[in-house]
Chain A
Amino acid sequence: MRTARRNTVAVDAARQVTLSQLDGSGRGGKWKGKVFSAVLVACIVIAVATLAAVLLHSFVKGFPRIDLNLIRNMPSSLDRTTSGMQSAIFGTIYVMVGVAVTVVPLGVSAAIYLEEFADKNRWYVRFIELNIQNLAAVPSIVFGILGLAFIARGPLSLGFVAYAGSLTLSLLVLPTIILTTREAIRAVPSSIRQASMALGATQWRTIWKQVLPSSVPGIATGTILSLSRAIGETAPLLLVGATVFVTYNPDGFFSGAFTTLPTQIFSWATRPQDEFRILAAAGIIVLMAVLLAMNSFAIWIRNKFTTEW
């Protein structure tokens, strides 16, 4: 069945090419190919140029406010030119620590099960895999609704505290962590597993002693990239109470109101006064700097420590 389908595709493609050769339409001059490749390059250029524009625009606009006040002061609606975002920075740190301690053990464990133990012919394994794929594409704001109904209120009733945000974002990035960890585990060749099993090691000892140590760089890279996804998330936090105007740092994970960098940026961006927009731009610079640092670190780990098999 599979081969049949593959053959159909192959035959169709071959027929297409042959026909175009026969009717001479392929010989339509070299310029056609050149235009086509120019269009393709343009597609990439649009994307890259926009990235540059996003970064440059925020940088130019926000640069005047990259100062110590930004870190030293709390957000303020009165002192527009000296207002800071300390509570947002602290809020983001609290939320992200919460995400890391929650989602890493959960996601890595799930990935180990699915990659090493799960029998792919079982209906429940296939169901779990399909479910994770689907979850990865659920809009982030829907996770906010889940957080509002079940975490901040409802069964868990944590209230609108930093850890409610952590838990909501953890659920959001869980599929990503599972996916990247599975890829890292899959990169360990099966010959290593077989060698360990053939010595009389149990499957778990094989994973613990051979597979995991070899895949740590890949897991770390995937984890950092997933956390960098979480750090920039705004929409779900709006629903679990990253209320946009908090002038004090969180009391802890489980008490006190909190705000985060992206929600603070959102609040400033939507105000008409230019001083606030400059603040928003300055906030974006800080956020992007953190993100680029995390990404570079992840790539550095990947390049430096990954085992070549």
Chain B
Amino acid sequence: MSATLMTDRPTESERIDLSASSPRRGEKVIIGWLFLCAAFSVLVTVGIVFALAGPTIEFFRQVSPGQFFSTDDWAPSFTPPEFGVLRIVSGTLNVTFYALLIALPCGLGAAIYLSEYAGPRARKILKPILEVLEGVPTVAYGFFALTFITPLLREYWPTFLPGSLGDPPGVFSAASAGLVMGIMIIPTVASVSQDAMSAVPRGLREAAYGIGSTRMQVATRVVVPAALSGIVASFILGISRAVGETMIVLIAAGATPNLTLLPNESVQTMTAFIGQASTGDIAVGTITYYTVFAVGSLLFVSTLILNTISIALVRRYRETYE
């Protein structure tokens, strides 16, 4: 064994210097930079708030909140302009409603299947498909709604339905946009729900199987109740997605601010209004410009509330099981 390795071994009498050999300033700078990058995300939120707040305040200087929230005519760029936001809010609610009609049951069903029924092989195939589905550009979904679903709906509309519900939709309709948006949201609902179901301890399932439960009973009476907060979180996240989605509604739902919940009518949503108003050349300082920000604020605040609830619920199930 070579003795050269033993050179800097301290002797009893020698006092060893255990203080830092260098101040390591470089590393402190790096860590500082890393922190700044993490903190940058806060700056983005602050930026959003400030970007929205200024013009929104300016908007409400010119238009009273009463006019904005309680009148029901929407035509901000006409003369005389009308600012009853209820019309485009109802448009958002309309499309969201039909989207959820598809997304919530299908998303939950897909999650139960993936978590409780699918074998590892099926899961290995289905998960990436759902990921691709989530990654399809929304403009492609919008095109699909306009050129595939809409003609289909017009052809096969259940005309036996009573009243105006029986009229086939026109070129633009809430139903077409809502259906496709619902499909778009399925992966979101499915993946968040499935995460929650996977977090349910194996022991609970085994206990249920142990007393002779069927697979369906385990799924519906044990796993779903135990993962409930996560499932609700996925639903709320789905709602938030639907409310915030722009391209599908901009392409397929039309630009008519209609105060209706009927699926066969053309509606304008909050997001579609922003998209439509800013596609044209809007000049800074006009009332239309400020209106975009006021509607943006409303959109931001409502999705923020939904997201906060969803995040809190996810945190709850994580705390329960992890």
Q: Which residues from chain A contact B304 at a C-beta distance below 8 Å?
A: 134, 138
Tell me the nearest residue of chain B to A264, going by C-beta.
B139
Residues B293 and A235 in contact, CB atoms below 8 Å apart: no
- Given A21-B212, A204-B27, A269-B142, check contact A228 B135 (CB 8 Å): yes
- Given A13-B204, A13-B208, check contact A43 B147 (CB 8 Å): no
Q: Which residues from chain A contact B11 at a C-beta distance below 8 Å?
A: none
- Given A113-B34, A137-B310, A153-B284, check contact A20 B225 (CB 8 Å): no
- Give the CA-CA distance A131 to B24 in the complex, in Å: 31
Q: Does B222 contact A (CB under 8 A)?
A: yes
Tell me the nearest residue of chain B to A47, going by C-beta.
B186
Residues A138 and B41 in contact, CB atoms below 8 Å apart: no
Tell me the nearest residue of chain A to B321, going by C-beta.
A6
Number of interface residues of B (CB under 8 A): 108
Q: Does B263 contact A (CB under 8 A)?
A: no
Residues B42 and A131 in contact, CB atoms below 8 Å apart: yes
Contact with B along A20-64 (1 / 0, CB 8 A): 110000100000110011011111101110110110011001000
Contact with A along B290-303 (1 / 0, CB 8 A): 00110010011001
Q: Which residues from chain B contact A235 at a C-beta distance below 8 Å?
A: 138, 246-247, 250, 271, 275
- Give the CA-CA distance A281 to B321 in the complex, in Å: 46
- Give the CA-CA distance A37 to B122 in the complex, in Å: 14
Near A by CB (< 8 A), chain B positions 34-55 give: 34-35, 37-42, 44-45, 47-48, 50-52, 54-55
Name the contact of A42 in the complex, choosing from B45, B109, B180, B311 (C-beta under 8 A): B109
Q: Does B69 contact A (CB under 8 A)?
A: no
Q: Does B129 contact A (CB under 8 A)?
A: yes
Interface 9-residue window, one of A67-75, A211-219, A288-296: A288-296
Tell me the nearest residue of chain A to B284, going by C-beta.
A153
Residues A43 and B113 in contact, CB atoms below 8 Å apart: yes
A196 to chain B, nearest CB (A): 14
A128 to chain B, nearest CB (A): 5
Near B by CB (< 8 A), chain A positions 257-309 give: 262, 265-266, 269-270, 277, 280-281, 284, 287-288, 291-292, 295, 299
Q: Does B243 contact A (CB under 8 A)?
A: yes
Residues A17 and B211 in contact, CB atoms below 8 Å apart: yes
Residues B138 and A234 in contact, CB atoms below 8 Å apart: yes
Q: Does B216 contact A (CB under 8 A)?
A: yes
- Give the CA-CA distance A50 to B129 in the complex, in Å: 11
Tell me the nearest residue of chain B to A205, going by C-beta.
B27
Name the contact of A292 in the complex, choosing from B132, B246, B250 (C-beta under 8 A): B132
Q: Which residues from chain A contact B190 at a C-beta distance below 8 Å?
A: 47
Q: Does A194 contact B (CB under 8 A)?
A: no
Q: Which residues from chain B contact A21 at a C-beta distance below 8 Å?
A: 211-213
Q: Which residues from chain B contact A202 at a C-beta distance below 8 Å?
A: 24, 27
Q: Does B97 contact A (CB under 8 A)?
A: no
Number of A-B contacts (CB under 8 A): 308
- Interface SS of A by simple majority: helix
Contact with A along B280-322 (1 / 0, CB 8 A): 0000100000001100100110011011101100000001110
- Given A33-B215, A238-B279, check contact A132 B41 (CB 8 Å): yes
Residues A128 and B126 in contact, CB atoms below 8 Å apart: no
Residues B299 and A47 in contact, CB atoms below 8 Å apart: no
- Give the CA-CA distance A149 to B290 in the complex, in Å: 11
- Give the CA-CA distance A39 to B204 in the complex, in Å: 24
Name the contact of B311 in the complex, choosing from A106, A134, A139 (C-beta under 8 A): A134
Q: Which residues from chain B contact A17 at a C-beta distance below 8 Å?
A: 207-208, 211, 213, 217-218, 221-222
- Given A58-B140, A232-B136, check contact A13 B278 (CB 8 Å): no
Contact with A along B230-270 (1 / 0, CB 8 A): 00000001001101111100110000000000000000000
Which residues in A have some Cβ–Cβ distance to B below 8 Å?
A: 2, 5-6, 9-10, 12-14, 16-18, 20-21, 26, 32-33, 36-37, 39-44, 46-48, 50-51, 53-54, 57-58, 61, 105-107, 109-110, 112-114, 117-118, 124, 127-128, 130-135, 137-146, 148-150, 153-154, 171, 174-175, 178, 202-205, 225, 228-229, 231-235, 238-239, 244, 262, 265-266, 269-270, 277, 280-281, 284, 287-288, 291-292, 295, 299
With A138-B244, A145-B48 already in contact, 11 other A-B pairs whose C-beta atoms are closer than 8 Å: A9-B204, A10-B203, A33-B215, A58-B144, A107-B37, A113-B38, A128-B38, A142-B296, A231-B137, A262-B137, A269-B139
21 contacts between A and B (CB under 8 A): A12-B225, A17-B221, A33-B215, A36-B216, A43-B106, A43-B110, A44-B114, A51-B133, A51-B136, A110-B37, A117-B34, A128-B41, A137-B241, A142-B48, A146-B48, A148-B278, A149-B293, A174-B44, A228-B135, A232-B136, A235-B271
